[in-house]
Amino acid sequence: MKTLIRSAVLCAALCMAGMFVVSCAENNENSTAVPDTGTGTIVVSSLTVSSGQEGVVIPIKMTNDTPLRGIVMPLQVRQLDAGAFITSLKLSFGDRLPADGLLNDVQFSNQYFAEDGECKSNKPGGYGTIASTDTLMHDVPGSPVGILFSRQRLVKDDLPNGTDNTGSFIMTVNITGTPGRFEIDTTCANPSNHLLLVKPDNAALIPSFTKGTITIQ
């Protein structure tokens, strides 16, 4: 089910000379921000998998109809049914954003194993402590797990308008042996990283977001 990211105040800053986006939309119930027309979309794939299956690829596909110089995408993996989850997780890039491609001046593929953030208007919630920053497979201790995908350019070319075919952001997971469901939704990560796209003029856009549900059979 497609949902629009909650109302937010944008405080994105993408600068030259060694600075990049690390803070963006704040969760603030008393503020409003309407996405620009044509902000783009982020879609997490929904899949049906087998219990105990290994190497399951979950693509996250992006469409942008304006050029971009930055992308910030914090996600959360959370079980919906007890025991139906992942045992390990690998984060990688592909499609229009390979690791050595555009927006590669600054790249993040962080994993978080504790929901210990303070990125929701300085209230508890989201993710703070980084467990890993690479693109290797890591065992996870249990639900929930936080993720931060981020790509920025400093001096190179912007990402042109386009639509992913196979997913520029990729999660590869091993699945538990328990039938049920888990979901992948948006969240936030310290200090104030929320889902957004950044245009060449540094204006921040809130894309529409579709969460993914993985069903284990």
Nearest Cα to Cα of residue 53 among 84, 78, 94: 84
CATH number at residue 136: 2.60.40.680
- pLDDT tens-digit series, residues 171-194: 999 999 999 999 999 999 999 999
Task: Evaluate the omega torsion of the peptide bond into residue 144 and state whether it is cis, within 30 degrees of 0.
Answer: yes
Read off the pTM: 0.83
Greatest CA separation for the chain:
50
pLDDT value at position 170?
A: 98
Please give the Cα distance from 137 to 134 (Å, whole number).
9
- Other Cβ atoms within 10 Å of 194 Cβ, number: 27
DSSP 131-152: EE-SSS-EE--SS-EEEEEEEE
Is the pLDDT at 105 greater than 50? The verdict is yes
pLDDT value at position 38?
A: 58
What is the residue range of 121's domain? 2-216
Number of structural domains (the chain) is: 1
Find where tokens 């469901």 sit: 181
